């Protein structure tokens, strides 16, 4: 080693990892797919909706799509634009995450307090008005059907293959109640994204706290913590979910929480192992010797250095949470009326014939989403590991 | 008779994008029965030269634009010698281990932990001497282990590497390298990871084996003391080039090249010792009969069956304005003592006094306020700074916690002043630890220790991982800090040269106890204790060896 100063741009570790991540083809594919899903989920009411975006009746313009937005639609929109704004504003990462979380929380409170769309929605009215010729001008969404629009006005609509009906156009066919599959899939992407992020987020927070305590204090705390981990690992998530569904009814939020509180044990193990290793590192010992307070030692000096395996595990965890929800819905224990990819898969095999479009499209969506998260996880693992990073460069990346 | 000839060798290594020239036009010749020492600081290309000879550089990540490496004296080719650079993998694998033996630096990782040492040696023999029978091989292995003076070789054959000490493992490595009777032995820093007493034994053994067998040895090291002990011919490398080359006496006594001169002048025992102010009498830190015992737990219920006595009744004091060196071999408890002294470890019994105040059982909260009075710098420059934080945060956070400076601007000013004090550029403040070299990181670690204006600093082997020229700079800095600011310093080390330069008093530690304490000059010139004498005798010294030669 020479004393000579090596000139290099100063980049924080997070930037380096991010740069290394987007250099990888796998990560790019995964990120593009996930961003596409986020866009689709956020703007679902403007992509697939029976309510027209804009229409003129009797010389009066109105936007039924906006008027019929539900609180959850507003929360998604608020979250999306808040994230966009915060991405451009400089600041500490954890401050921005907190700001986003509180912003979304505030938006949720506001939305449920202020927004009250009509409880009874008559989807047929627009088609009837159009047939009667009372609408002078109309702008529809690309897919003019809502997720819960069962097309009752067409009489005996049921399961139909893509583009089978002559007077209507269903690009991906319809499901057993007659709703448009494409519309339902677009709205279901919210559940896939939401359950992945929230369940994993809950698991990460619990796992980091418990794992961090075990790793730093060791001794009795470690022994008790590890027994707790073993107890939670022994709980079969699916049976717990079945039990809760039986007792408390079906709720997507309950599913998120249950998946979250049963899957933190893996993260706790990772954090514990990292902390056990980091505790002996010189810079942590030096921080103790400087008399720094415990939260600073734990969260400023140790956690950022132990984050790498956690991030990798989390991206795989998102994928498995999505699969858990799909499994539950496929078994018919998911949500009743709200669309979900697993529930559509269920319909593919329920009727006497095999309806391929109900298997291929939702199944493909699940596959690609899980695959995308796995690609990101894989690329992240390479990006945070300096050893594989070097070989990837050597291979000509 | 020449054995290995390297002519104008150029080796370039790739990091995936750029080619970096690691060896740049090196020519040298190793003769039969000669020990050729290649000396240089880290990154000078000495190991790459050795790996080029063995053909062990990573596939596709290296190239040789120029140069020839020839191995002479093999039976299966003409007087021209075997061209190693052009040889195929098949030829090379016969040469490696068969004609050329190699010993690596790290005895802990260079043996396979899941095979017994007998099995590992047997494998090499099967490959290179297929004509031997099983019994013949077993005999050869036993003879080789006897030759390296392995205690009780017959039972050691069936042992796994983890049952052996570092020195014993290095003996096994040497036995493995020699079992096929190579004509050339390449030893890459074989004693760097060992204690001085073990190093002295291994060097003696290598010398003896080489004389008996008439091998050529290419010995790579960074330690001029070792060179003086073992070399016949020495070559000094710098940035991939040989700067000086010649018989050991000439090069070490009358170095021609300025770089060699500066390297030898940077040896701590050669550093000029400045006049020192008289050390104060104010006692900073006093340790009384300190004991640190670790429980040994066994069995199902993890019952405590015994105690490992890491520190066993040590009494020591450090006064303001003096450096006390704590010397000892690995495992003697010197690092444990240091950590207990700082209350990073809970001592079992005894007491620690900081400026006359007993802090042994002080609760965590009360201790935290006192932390700023005593600071620490650790050994490993790679892990001594938090890699995720810029230097500014590392320096400013402790000040903020202890209420030094009114606001962050003032603290930044103080940090800048400190950077200047440790001779680092001001823009270091906004950089991350990975952008600095080892020596620079240690300077930054010293700055972090100074930030809290401590009265006492513990330095735990802080120059062991550094090159001599870098070490010289740090030692001078430390001495100046102690003299100018009246700090007290406990300097843990195993390097006697450093002790001689830096320390006012020294304490020798062995198996958890202090065996000798006294003024540095007195202890070094007239050691009283048996252990101190053997320790000092084992230190490879440039001057001593040259006088004897």
> Which phi and psi angles does A239 have, rounded to 5°?
-70, -35
Looking at residue B377, its pLDDT comes to 93
Whole-angstrom Cα Rg for chain B: 26
Tell me the per-residue pLDDT of B465-513, one tens digit each, with 9 for 90 and over. Answer: 888 888 998 999 998 888 888 889 999 998 888 998 999 999 999 988 9
- Predicted confidence band at A188 (pLDDT cuts at 50, 70, 90)? very high
Q: Quick one: three-class SS letters along chain A? A: CCCCCCCCCCCCHHHHHHHHHHCCHHHHHHHHHHHHHHHHHHCHHHHECCCCCEEEECCEEECHHHHCCCHHHHHHHHHHHHHHHHHHCCCCHHHHHHHHHHHHHHHHHHHHHHCCCCCCCCCHHHHHHHHHCCEEEEECCCECCCCCCCCHHHCCCCCECCCCCCCCCCCCCECCCCCEHHHHHHHHHHHHHHHHHHHHHHHHHHHHHHHHHHHHHCHHHHHHHHHHHHHHHHCCHHHHHHHHHHHHCCCHHHHHHHHHHHCCHHHHHHHHHHHHHHHCCHHHHHHHHCCCCHHHHHHHHHHHHHHHHHHHHHHHHHHHHHHHHHHHHHCCCCCCCCCCHHHHHHHHHHCCCCCHHHHHHHHHHHHHHHHHHHHHHHHHHHHHCHHHHHHHHHCCC
Interface contact flag, A3 B43, Cβ < 8 Å: no
Two structure tokens written together for A60: 């009066």
Q: Taking a C-beta distance cutoff of 8 angstroms, is the pair B138, B145 a contact?
A: no
Residue A390 has pLDDT above 50, yes or no: no
Nearest C-alpha in A relative to B389: A12
- Predicted confidence band at A386 (pLDDT cuts at 50, 70, 90)? low
Two structure tokens written together for B387: 């890699």
Residues from chain A that touch B15, judged by Cβ atoms under 8 A, are 390, 393-394
- Once rounded to an integer, what is the mean pLDDT over residues A4-27? 73
Measured in angstroms, the CA of B444 and the nearest CA of chain A are apart by: 12
Pick from B216, B440, B266, B3: nearest CA to A5? B440
Pick from B139, B4, B168, B389: nearest CA to A283? B389
How far is C-alpha B10 from the geometric centre of its chain's CA atoms?
28
Interface contact flag, B43 A1, Cβ < 8 Å: yes
Pick from B119, B80, B118, B71: nearest CA to B98? B71
Looking at residue A157, its pLDDT comes to 67
Looking at residue B316, its pLDDT comes to 92
Interface contact flag, A393 B17, Cβ < 8 Å: yes
Q: How many CB atoms lie within 10 A of CB B18?
A: 8
> Which phi and psi angles does B346 have, rounded to 5°?
-85, 120
Tell me the per-residue pLDDT of A29-48, one tens digit each, with 9 for 90 and over. Answer: 999 999 999 999 999 999 99
State what percent of residues in chain A have pLDDT above 70: 93
Give, for B10, the enclosing helix (H) or strand (E).
strand B2-14
In DSSP notation, B229-244 reads HH-SEEEEEETTEEEE
Interface contact flag, B368 A293, Cβ < 8 Å: yes
Q: Is the ipTM of this complex over 0.90?
A: no
Cα B329–B333–B334 angle (5° rounding)?
A: 75
The minimal CB distance from B383 to the residues A2, A281, A288 is found for: A281
Measured in angstroms, the CA of A372 and the nearest CA of chain B are apart by: 27
Tell me the per-residue pLDDT of A142-179, one tens digit each, with 9 for 90 and over. Answer: 888 888 888 877 766 677 888 877 777 888 888 888 88
Q: What is the residue-averaged pLDDT of chain A?
A: 85
Looking at residue B78, its pLDDT comes to 56
Residue A268 has pLDDT above 90, yes or no: yes
With b meaning 16 or more CB within 10 Å and e meaning fewer, what string describes B194-222?
Answer: bbbebbbbbbebbeebbeebebbbbbbbb
The minimal CB distance from A304 to the residues B14, B43, B388 is found for: B388
Looking at residue A9, its pLDDT comes to 52
Quick one: DSSP state of residue B435?
A: G
Interface contact flag, A291 B376, Cβ < 8 Å: no
Distance of CA B311 to CAs B54, B340, B495, B514, Å?
45, 9, 21, 9
Each residue's pLDDT tens digit in chain B (549 positions)? Answer: 788 999 999 999 887 778 888 899 899 999 888 999 999 888 888 889 988 888 888 878 888 888 888 888 765 555 667 888 878 888 888 888 888 888 888 777 788 889 998 998 898 888 888 888 889 999 989 988 888 888 888 888 888 888 888 888 888 888 888 888 888 999 988 888 788 888 888 888 888 888 888 889 999 998 888 898 889 999 999 988 999 999 988 888 889 999 999 888 888 888 887 777 676 678 889 999 999 998 888 777 777 888 888 899 999 999 988 999 999 888 888 889 999 999 988 899 999 999 888 998 888 888 888 898 999 999 888 888 998 888 998 999 999 999 888 888 999 999 999 999 888 998 888 888 888 888 899 999 999 999 999 999 999 988 888 888 889 989 999 988 888 888 899 999 988 889 989 999 999 999 889 999 999 989 998 999 999 999 998 888 776 544 443
Interface contact flag, B445 A390, Cβ < 8 Å: no
Pick from B457, B412, B463, B416: nearest CA to B442? B463
Looking at residue A396, its pLDDT comes to 34
Residues linked to residue B304 through DSSP beta bridges, in sequence order: B297
In DSSP notation, B461-484 reads STTTTS-HHHHHHHHHHHHHHHHH
Looking at residue B93, its pLDDT comes to 84
Two structure tokens written together for B442: 């240690």
């Amino acid at each position: 080693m020479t004393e000579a100063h090596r000139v290099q741009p100063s980049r924080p570790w997070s930037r380096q990892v991010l740069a290394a991540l987007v250099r990888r083809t796998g990560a790019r594919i995964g990120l593009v797919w996930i961003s596409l899903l986020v866009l689709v989920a956020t703007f679902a009411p403007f992509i697939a909706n029976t309510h027209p975006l804009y229409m003129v009746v009797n010389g009066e313009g109105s936007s039924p799509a906006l008027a019929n937005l539900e609180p959850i639609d507003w929360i998604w929109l608020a979250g999306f634009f808040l994230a966009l704004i915060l991405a451009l504003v400089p600041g500490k990462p954890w401050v921005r995450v907190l700001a986003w979380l509180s912003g979304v929380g505030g938006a949720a409170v506001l939305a449920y307090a202020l927004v009250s769309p009509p409880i009874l929605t008559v989807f047929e009215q627009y088609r009837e008005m159009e047939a009667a010729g009372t609408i002078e001008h109309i702008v529809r969404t690309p897919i003019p059907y809502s997720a819960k629009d069962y097309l009752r006005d067409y009489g005996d609509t049921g399961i139909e293959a893509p583009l089978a009906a002559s007077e209507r156009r269903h690009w991906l066919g319809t499901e057993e109640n007659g709703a448009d599959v494409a519309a339902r899939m677009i709205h279901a992407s919210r559940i896939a994204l939401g359950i992945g992020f929230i369940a994993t987020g809950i698991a990460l927070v619990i796992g980091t706290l418990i794992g961090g305590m075990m790793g730093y204090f060791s001794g009795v705390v470690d022994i008790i913590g590890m027994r707790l981990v073993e107890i939670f690992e022994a709980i079969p998530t699916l049976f717990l979910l079945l039990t809760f569904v039986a007792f408390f009814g079906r709720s997507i939020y309950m599913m998120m929480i249950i998946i979250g509180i049963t899957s933190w044990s893996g993260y706790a193990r990772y954090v514990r192992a990292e902390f056990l290793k980091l505790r002996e590192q010189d810079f942590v010992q030096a921080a103790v010797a400087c008399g720094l307070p415990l939260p600073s030692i734990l969260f400023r000096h140790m956690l950022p250095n132990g984050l790498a395996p956690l991030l990798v595990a989390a991206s795989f965890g998102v994928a498995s949470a999505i699969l858990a929800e799909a499994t539950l819905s496929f078994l018919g224990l998911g949500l009743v009326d709200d669309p979900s990819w697993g529930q559509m898969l269920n319909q593919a095999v329920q009727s006497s014939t095999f309806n391929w479009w109900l298997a291929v499209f939702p199944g493909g969506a699940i596959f690609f989403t899980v695959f995308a998260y796995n690609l990101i996880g894989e690329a992240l693992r390479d990006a945070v590991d300096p050893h594989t990073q070097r070989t990837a460069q050597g291979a000509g990346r | 008779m020449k054995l290995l000839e390297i002519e104008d060798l150029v080796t370039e290594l790739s990091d995936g994008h750029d080619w970096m020239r690691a060896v740049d036009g090196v020519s040298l010749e190793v003769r039969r029965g000669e020990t050729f020492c290649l000396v240089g600081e880290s990154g000078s290309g000495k190991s790459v030269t050795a790996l080029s000879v063995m053909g062990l550089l990573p596939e596709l990540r290296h190239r040789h634009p120029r140069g020839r490496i020839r191995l002479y004296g093999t039976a299966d080719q003409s007087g021209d010698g075997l061209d190693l650079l052009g040889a195929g993998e098949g030829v090379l694998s016969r040469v490696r281990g068969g004609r050329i033996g190699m010993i690596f630096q790290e005895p802990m990782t260079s043996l396979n932990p899941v095979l017994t040492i007998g099995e590992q040696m047997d494998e090499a023999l099967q490959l290179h001497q297929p004509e031997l029978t099983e019994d013949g091989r077993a005999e050869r292995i036993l003879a080789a282990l006897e030759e390296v003076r392995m205690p009780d070789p017959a039972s050691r054959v069936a042992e796994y590497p983890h049952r052996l000490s570092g020195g014993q493992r290095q003996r096994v490595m040497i036995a493995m390298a020699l079992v096929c009777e190579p004509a050339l032995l390449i030893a890459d820093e074989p004693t760097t990871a060992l204690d001085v007493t073990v190093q002295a034994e291994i060097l003696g053994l290598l010398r003896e084996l080489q004389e008996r067998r008439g091998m050529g040895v290419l010995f790579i090291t960074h330690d001029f003391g070792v060179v003086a002990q073992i070399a016949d011919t020495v070559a000094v490398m710098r940035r991939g080039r040989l700067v000086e080359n010649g018989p050991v006496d000439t090069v070490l006594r009358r170095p021609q090249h300025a770089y060699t001169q500066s390297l030898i002048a940077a040896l701590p025992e050669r550093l000029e010792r400045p006049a020192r102010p008289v050390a104060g009498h104010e006692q900073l830190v006093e340790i009384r009969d300190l004991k640190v015992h670790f429980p040994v737990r066994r069995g199902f219920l993890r019952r405590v069956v015994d105690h490992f006595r890491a520190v066993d009744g040590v009494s020591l004091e450090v006064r303001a304005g003096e450096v006390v060196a704590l010397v000892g071999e690995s495992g003697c408890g010197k690092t444990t003592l240091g950590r207990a002294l700082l209350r990073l470890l809970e001592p079992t019994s005894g007491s620690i006094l900081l400026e006359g105040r007993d802090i042994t059982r002080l609760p965590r909260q009360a201790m935290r306020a006192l932390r700023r009075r005593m600071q620490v710098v650790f050994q490993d420059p790679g892990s001594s700074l938090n890699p995720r934080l810029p230097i500014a945060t590392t320096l400013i956070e402790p000040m903020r916690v202890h209420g030094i400076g009114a606001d962050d601007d003032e603290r930044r000013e103080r940090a800048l002043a400190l950077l200047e004090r440790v001779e680092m550029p001001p823009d270091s403040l906004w950089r991350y630890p990975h952008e600095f070299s080892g020596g620079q990181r240690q300077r930054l670690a010293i700055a972090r220790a100074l930030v809290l204006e401590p009265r006492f600093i513990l330095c735990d082997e802080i120059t062991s991982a550094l090159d001599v020229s870098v070490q010289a700079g740090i030692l001078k800095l430390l001495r100046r800090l102690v003299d100018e600011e009246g700090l007290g310093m406990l300097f843990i080390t195993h390097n006697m040269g450093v002790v001689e330069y830096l320390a006012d008093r020294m304490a020798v530690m062995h198996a958890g106890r202090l065996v000798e304490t006294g003024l540095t000059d007195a202890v070094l010139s007239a050691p009283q204790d048996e252990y101190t004498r053997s320790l000092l005798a084992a230190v490879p010294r440039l001057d001593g060896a040259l006088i004897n030669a």
